[in-house]
Amino acid sequence: MKTNPSVVARLAGLCSLSVAVLCAALALPAQAQLVDIANSPLYGGKQAHPNVAVTTSVEFPTVGAAYLNIPYNRNAVFLGYFDPTKCYSYSTSNGGYFYVGGSADSNHECAGFFGGNFMNWLTMSAIDEFRYAMTGGNRVDENAANNGTIVQRAYLPDGSINGVPDFYAFGNFPRHVIGANGYLDYAPSSTLTHTVLPTASTNDGTIVWMTNCRSQLYFGSQQDGSCANPRNDYGTYNVRVLVCDSTEGPTRSDLCLQYGGTSGRYKPVGQAQVNAGRMRFASFGYLMDHDTPNYNAPCNDSGWNRCRYGGVLRSPMKYLGPTKYDANQVPFTNSQKEINADGTLQTAPEGTA
């Protein structure tokens, strides 16, 4: 703390010898004292659990490519539902899904398989990265093969809604090419309908165009088509991934958590599950509920039955796990849980609206 020299001088002139020591102390700058600041409320008893409100404006750009305008680099790690360190095969059963078929090499390359790192770069949308971090992904099958869970890439618009573009080779989710730019060993040739994807050993230079739309990934020989009529003469794949099964679960700590003790199943999780017993969560969403034929049109009451446009509470503030706590941190059974004790999710925890 700085002191005013003129004030100190005046104080010193008023002092007698009997208070000289006191005046000398007044004339010196005050020294700051170290104070321990509590990390929890001083009089609140036990530490209160925080509240987290998630407010998102989810419009069509939000499902744009997660790695938009970022060139693929085999030395970089691209996160997503696919494990960047693994190689993947594709199963046509159960609606079609990718599953781990082996380990990638040090360059994230997989001869004869789909490279997980490359597939994250190629197929993930921005909202999928958010889901990956918050909830572990959008689950479409809780009881898949080998005690696993299938998660699905976000649905990319196909132009069927007025005002929302067709995402097929759209600027927010562009088409990519393999072969001409030296992308080798990131997708297999053996599982396509034609031997077209080059590998490090053959490198035949064939060009393959890769396009995303809806929940699918298309491989084609030309850069044309649409969601309704895609160029897929080299293959169509549903972007769904088997995760956290009995093989992957114990080794993939970024995504998988074991429930029910050492003999329990692994489930894909994010921060919502990890903090289900020590935080409360609420979710707000974007509402466009008016019956205009064009979602880009302004909302007014002229001739419409519904005219609601803005934000809406999707899920009220609450604990997500099987246990909730009162103001004194006493645990109770949570009748509105969203996560079961085995890690599976409740279908309608708040009931039907």
* Tokens standing for residue 175: 């088409």
Residue type, 145: A
Cα separation of 244 and 249, whole Å?
4
Question: Where does the pLDDT of residue 12 fall: very low under 50, low under 70, confident under 90, or very high at 90 and above?
Answer: very low
Residue 291 confidence (pLDDT): 57
Residue that wins the pLDDT comparison between 175 and 243: 243
Residue 307 confidence (pLDDT): 61
pTM: 0.78
Tally of helices (H runs) and strands (E runs) in the chain? 5, 17
How many domains are contained in the chain? 1
Give yes or no for residue 89 having a pLDDT over 60: yes
Residue 71 confidence (pLDDT): 83
Residue 299 confidence (pLDDT): 57
The sheet carrying 51-55 orders its strands as: 51-55, 280-290, 307-318
Residue 128 confidence (pLDDT): 96
Three-state SS string over 117-179 comes to HHHHHHHCEHHHHHHHHHCCCEEEEEEEHHHEEEEECCCECECCCCCCCECCCECCECCEEEC
pLDDT tens-digit readout, 293-349: 555 555 555 555 556 666 788 889 999 999 999 988 899 999 999 999 999 999 888
Residue 185 confidence (pLDDT): 39
Helix (H), strand (E) at residue 19:
none
Per the CB < 8 A criterion, the answer to whether 89 and 113 are in contact is: yes
Residue 102 confidence (pLDDT): 92
Per the CB < 8 A criterion, the answer to whether 154 and 186 are in contact is: no
Question: Where does the pLDDT of residue 13 fall: very low under 50, low under 70, confident under 90, or very high at 90 and above?
Answer: very low
Residue 113 confidence (pLDDT): 85
- Domain contains 199: yes
Domain of residue 219, residue span: 59-275
Residue that wins the pLDDT comparison between 351 and 190: 351
Residue 8 confidence (pLDDT): 30
- Domain contains 249: yes
Residue 300 confidence (pLDDT): 58
pLDDT tens-digit readout, 194-228: 333 433 333 445 677 889 999 999 988 888 999 99
- Domain contains 139: yes
- Domain contains 269: yes
pLDDT tens-digit readout, 106-163: 888 887 788 899 899 999 999 999 999 999 999 999 999 999 999 999 999 888 876 6
- Domain contains 179: yes
Residue that wins the pLDDT comparison between 141 and 71: 141
